[in-house]
Chain A
């Protein structure tokens, strides 16, 4: 028995080593499946919980076009949630179970959405920085070893780059606007910069899941590599429109050909993950309340389709 398990694992890892994608019907070690369910469901929940801070500005979007773009963006995020729930379902876990895990706190979502969207400029900052950081991560995941996950990422990445450009456009417009608008944009930048860097997770030296995820090619770049990529592409974009990065230690490193940055506040990172961020309770309560309020609708839809089924069979 033990022997068979070991053979299975060896064959699996050879397959991965040769660059084959793993498909739902393929044999896979329990650890691989577990890692994927955790990561994909966290990703799906993030897309869905992320609808809340942006949804906070839907009724106050300042022009018809702005409202259209924002609504369509949030709709895209919901769509990403759907693809990812379906991709996770190929591993034998239902959406209901995953939502249950979210509500009991067993499953997480991206920490970034525990921060509040306080002004219209935050909508720009979220699109530009948060989606911008997500893209760096997701581009790397397009080549992840699990087929359904990698295919979902390819679809999602196309839309994320739109979101990033649209967010940047909001920031650019505000930086070209009145003094009030410029102040709003810089304030949003100041509040969202550091949490965006935290989206990539702890430094490589402190990252607990790194080993298996790399060997199984679920993860292909380290947290610090991805964070560096994000910083390098974003600093210039900020400069072009006149925004200041709120990091006095940020400077170009000629030797390494990349930016050095100041120390991330890991205490804040772990505090927010631990549940004491500004919006953790609000986000969870909202999701649970809406889910519970919708129960009668889902029950009615089920009852109706059962009746239809019954009369078809009768």
Chain B
């Protein structure tokens, strides 16, 4: 693997994470518990689409095959996608979506703090811009998890259930492979393993405020680094790619 190939894959992975989570969040449009929250969820989805655009555009440039961000988003199949599994899981109830948002945005808080120092100027610039957005996403998710956890018996039960179900998808956030190792040598990629302690500490603190118990350590799901996904990703892509695949000669 050359550095160019690694950088391509790394930007794809970051782009895919944003793209697939934005797809899930945008499903809340006109489905949220009240209007203000509908707008807030759409806001986050919009931030993530912007991030996906920037990352996938860069991936296309790095690869030099003339592919645009839309080519990469709309013409790759499931096995060529590298987003973490947690991004593609169906939304579940509002508690489930907010707990996922808490787990992911807490990770991203630490991750983009580091990525903005990348020796790769483009990744650093996207990282700095993203960090600002992620701070808001994190605050929003944290407030909701605490509010729901410490709200009624029912909301507490729902949050606890979401935490239990999502826990096994958090390990993948910190996984590293040859791609990361190669790019880390030159200070391009973030050492994700190093972020784990900070993440656990912050999540533990927030869940304690929400009267939620931390699940026991167990098996962590994996596969996305090799493009192996849950059954759900294919359905996201078949909806998302429908027009581009059905009318391959059209521009929109």
Interface residues of A (CB under 8 A from B): 48, 51-52, 55, 58-60, 62-68, 71-72, 74-75, 78-79, 81-82, 85, 120, 170, 173-174, 177-178, 180-181, 286, 290, 293-301, 303-304, 307
Contacts and interface: CB of A to CB of B under 8 A. Distances in A.
B197 interface: no
A174 B252 CA distance: 7
A82 B36 contact: yes
Contacts of A64: 19, 49, 52-53, 56, 69-70, 73
Given A59-B240, A68-B46, 18 more contacts: A59-B236, A63-B70, A63-B74, A63-B244, A64-B52, A64-B53, A82-B35, A120-B252, A180-B247, A294-B34, A294-B94, A296-B152, A297-B37, A297-B155, A299-B155, A300-B155, A301-B151, A304-B147
B39 interface: yes
Contact of B34 (A59, A181, A286, A298): A298
Chain B CB within 10 A, most for which of A65, A72, A173, A303: A303
Interface of B: 19, 23, 26-27, 29-39, 42-43, 45-46, 49-50, 52-53, 56, 69-70, 73-74, 93-94, 146-148, 150-152, 154-155, 158, 236, 239-240, 242-244, 247, 249-252
Given A62-B252, A71-B46, A177-B251, A120 B243 contact: yes
Contact of A72 (B38, B46, B94, B236): B46
Given A60-B242, A64-B52, A173 B33 contact: no
A-B pairs, 10 with minimum CB distance: A294-B33, A300-B151, A300-B155, A297-B33, A62-B243, A62-B252, A55-B30, A51-B30, A304-B151, A304-B147
Contacts of A286: 30
Contacts of B74: 62-63
Contacts of B155: 296-297, 299-300, 303
A174 B247 CA distance: 12
B19 to A, nearest CB: 8
Dominant SS among interface residues on chain B: helix
A296 B52 contact: no
